Amino acid sequence: MIQVLSIASECAPLVKTGGLADVAGALPAALSGQGVQMRTLLPGYPGVMSSLSGASHLESFDDLFGGPAQLLAGQAEGLDLLVIDAPHLYQREGNPYLGPDGLDWPDNPERFAALSWVGAMIGARGAGGWQPQILHGHDWQAGLVTEYLRQMQGADVHTVLTIHNISFTGTVDPGRMHALRLDPARFHSEGFEFWGAISALKAGLMGADRLTTVSPRYAEELMTPEFGMGLDGVIRHRRDALVGILNGIDQSIWTPATDPMITPYDNPKGKAANKAALRAEMGLPESEGPLCVIVSRMTHQKGLDLVLQALPALLEGGGQLALLGSGDAELQNAFVNAAFGPNVAVRIGYDEAFSHLMIAGGDAILVPSRFEPCGLTQLYGLRYGTIPLVALTGGLADTVINASPAALARGVATGLQFSPINSDTLRHAMARLCTLYKDRKTWLRMQRNAMSQPVGWDQSAKAYAALYAELVAG
């Protein structure tokens, strides 16, 4: 049994702001059948501490980046956890990264340096008699693990870093070097220096034994200036260590036949009750075209401004739009104030249960992201027979079979893709969506194809287990 410590800043369902949490929450169970025992190291946020059961004390720290702390072991939501109980760093309500003003907590560098430090310590000498063979860190918040391992003599542990979104680099002024317990001799291009600043992500990219990201296409994109966010040169330098492994979804939660948050169904025709319920909930009338849904953070990355520009094409084709999301205030206001008439409904905020009804009740789900490392909502759409209309990028390109003439002729299409990513091509894709929807035989075939696609963790778990085994074999 390979022993792995997953080091993450969030983990569903305990704390979640995005796809990283879903991956961290799903991997332990997915890997348990692959000869891997995974424990997860998390910051002791209020929601994590209140959920922890069977807690036992493993270690005390007199000064963990500004205050006393302890390392606890316990369980929560079926997860085997190690938790850093450091009230001065983590005992804060709300978002794990943002203060009440919507800005990053000023001490985020120290908060997640502590996560990396404790992870490295466990890798170097174990905790409570347990010794991991592999440290698997996620994004910049675990990027400094390899730097700290260098300082801990005798560390005999392998390291993996997964890039969920390279646009967050964990960058901070070099004046914080001492506070972050970093070796000034490592402040250079082969270490953690990034354009004159400290970058936790750069440290991990340079130091980890293996790098993974969340789709094969995104792995390729990261090596280009367009997607690499200034780190494309680093990625090209480490290309032999990089592999793209698609995310999956938790099918114990996302399965339409057993979903308690909707009217369950096991074939496309069973969606009708949920579509009626969604229309009633959102105040939408009957319509001859497809009911399209968006469940998303409202940011420039997600391409929702393109939807505003292209939406008339959907409405002219008899379609409708229901949106659930929150984020950028300007985008929120633009959707709320747009005078598109009765066939557009917007709900600002996020509601996990309602998101299930949105996806179950929609005919199609729109994911027009400018970049998308993997994406999960298109996978939910496939699972629920809700046809994805996606931008041709990252994991969206890897998971949706475009309704090209060849794919339609062979009867294998599962959705629509558009490229280049702009409002004109999205407008054309929306018009095509409306046309396909009216061909009921073709549409039903696409729905059945979508619902039969493998979107769980089976294949991805095998890929991670093979990567771990390769490292351990040395």
Domain boundaries, the chain: 2-248+457-473, 268-451
Architecture of domain 2-248+457-473: 3-Layer(aba) Sandwich (3.40)
- Binding site, residues? 16
Tell me which CATH code domain 268-451 carries.
Answer: 3.40.50.2000
Mean pLDDT of 363-376: 97
As a whole number of angstroms, the distance between CA 320 and CA 294 comes to 11
**Cα separations (Å) of 387 from 79, 143, 291, 317, 318?**
33, 37, 10, 16, 17
Residue-level pLDDT at 155: 73
Q: How confident is the model at residue 254 (pLDDT cuts 50, 70, 90)?
A: very high
Residue-level pLDDT at 136: 98
Phi (first) and psi of residue 196, to 5 degrees: 80, 0
Q: Chain centroid to CA 332: how far?
A: 22
**Cα separations (Å) of 294 from 215, 319, 348, 402, 428?**
22, 13, 11, 19, 18
Residue-level pLDDT at 368: 98
Residue 154 has pLDDT above 80, yes or no: no
Residue 391 has pLDDT above 80, yes or no: yes
Neighbouring-strand partners of residue 171 = 199
Q: What percent of the chain has pLDDT over 70?
A: 100
Mean pLDDT of 424-437: 98
| Exposed / middle / buried, residue 100 (Cβ in 10 Å: 0-12, 13-18, 19+) | exposed
Predicted confidence (pLDDT) per residue in 25-65, tens digit: 999 999 999 999 999 999 999 999 999 999 999 999 999 99
Report DSSP state, residue 215.
Answer: -
Q: How confident is the model at residue 94 (pLDDT cuts 50, 70, 90)?
A: confident
As a whole number of angstroms, the distance between CA 26 and CA 5 comes to 14
As a whole number of angstroms, the distance between CA 143 and CA 201 comes to 5
| Exposed / middle / buried, residue 22 (Cβ in 10 Å: 0-12, 13-18, 19+) | buried
- Binding site for ADP-alpha-D-glucose, residues? 16
- For tokens 């990355």, name the residue: 301
What b-and-e string marks burial along 186-195, b requiring 16 or more CB atoms within 10 Å of the CB?
A: bbeeebbbbe
Structure tokens that stand for 257 in this block: 């036949």
Identical fold for domains 2-248+457-473 and 268-451, yes or no, is yes
Structure tokens that stand for 282 in this block: 């959102």
Q: Where are the beta strands (DSSP E) in 13-167?
A: 36-43, 53-61, 69-76, 79-85, 134-138, 158-163
Phi (first) and psi of residue 390, to 5 degrees: -130, 155
Residue 122 has pLDDT above 90, yes or no: yes
